Structure 1
Amino acid sequence: MSMEYVLERQLAVAYGYPSTTGSRPKFVVKAGSTAVKNGSPNVKRKNWLTDELVRKGILAPDPRNSSLWVFQQDHEFSNASAAVDVVNDGNLSAPQYWKNTTTGRSLKEDLAAIP
């Protein structure tokens, strides 16, 4: 699967792609993608994962917008949901929010179409 997907949440825009096959593939978010620093206080979040990425230098403050992080390099997550949790700074049903940049279909739809 060499399709690219985009996720837009608030001011954040992230690009990525599945890096393995299966119903819950690993998912790479590309360098230059942005992530929300402070999402809604009403949703669960994985602060530990964002904190770890900041410590490792994978996420850094976006010099263009103080409310965003920017990915300094490509980063592979265990699945698309973990990626969206960081980009959105809170839980979402990831496969339906990642949209194919060519077809506009969701990652969920594309995964369901694989025999």
Structure 2
Amino acid sequence: MAPKKPSCLRSLLLPLSLTLLLPQADTRSFLVDRDHDRFLLDGAPFRYVSGSLHYFRVPRVLWTDRLLKMRWSGLNAIQFYVPWNYHEPQPGVYNFNGSRDLIAFLNEAALANL
């Protein structure tokens, strides 16, 4: 029996985690203050105001526009899910190019401070 290949999802988790955590690891903090029922961002009370964006339904050229509009409307976070069937249309065939580039979307969201 041939050795099992690591799944694409597992191979994406480390780079994704590093992309999200390392740039701000030394300067930012996010804590849950259970004593006062609130979030703390860099030590200050923080209200989490989020909206949902389905990156796979928005053309890539409009990602920045939509993310900035969300930020300008008062949101400070985004919610999204990753539709795996969009990235793996057939078993073992993965596509993270163009409008399927999840890392590029996360980078755009970070640039919009979301």
Q: Same fold (TM over 0.5)?
A: no
Q: Which has the higher contact order (CA 8 A, sep 6+)?
A: 1
The higher radius of gyration belongs to: 2
TM range (shorter): under 0.3
TM-score, with structure 2 as normaliser: 0.24
Give me the TM-score of the superposition, normalised by structure 1.
0.24
Larger strand proportion of the pair = 1
